[in-house]
Amino acid sequence: MFERLEKKVISWAYQSQPWTNVYGLARSLIALSTALTLCFNDAKTLFLPSSDSDIFPREDLLGISIFTLVPNEYVYLNLVRYVCIVLLLIVVSGWRPQVTGIIHWYISYSFLSSAMTIDGGDSVAAVFTLLLLPLTLSDSRKWHWLHKEASTHFHSENLAKKIVALVTLVTIRVQVAILYFHSTVAKLGEEDWQNGTAVWYYMQDAMLGLNPMLFQMFEDVLTSALIVIPTWGTIILQIVLVAALFSPKKHRNYFFFLALIMHEVFAIMLGLISFSLAMIGILILYLRPLEQPFKFPNLKRSFQKQHTSNIKDTSSKEVG
Q: Given its phi and psi angles, is residue 143 left (phi above 0), alpha (psi -120 to 50 degrees) or beta?
A: beta
Give the model confidence (pLDDT) of 92-149 as tens digits.
999 999 999 999 999 999 999 999 988 899 999 999 999 999 999 999 999 999 877 6
Q: How many residues in the chain? A: 320
pLDDT in tens, 201-245: 989 887 778 888 888 888 898 889 999 999 999 999 999 999 999
pTM, whole model, 2 decimals?
Answer: 0.89
Beta-carbon contacts of 94 under 8 Å, excluding residues fewer than 6 positions away, are 24, 28, 143, 144, 145
At position 179, the amino acid (one-letter code) is L
Which residues are CB-contacts of 143 (< 8 A; sequence separation ≥ 6)?
Answer: 24, 93, 94, 95, 96, 303
| Concatenated DSSP letters of 41-56 | S-HHHHS--BTTB---
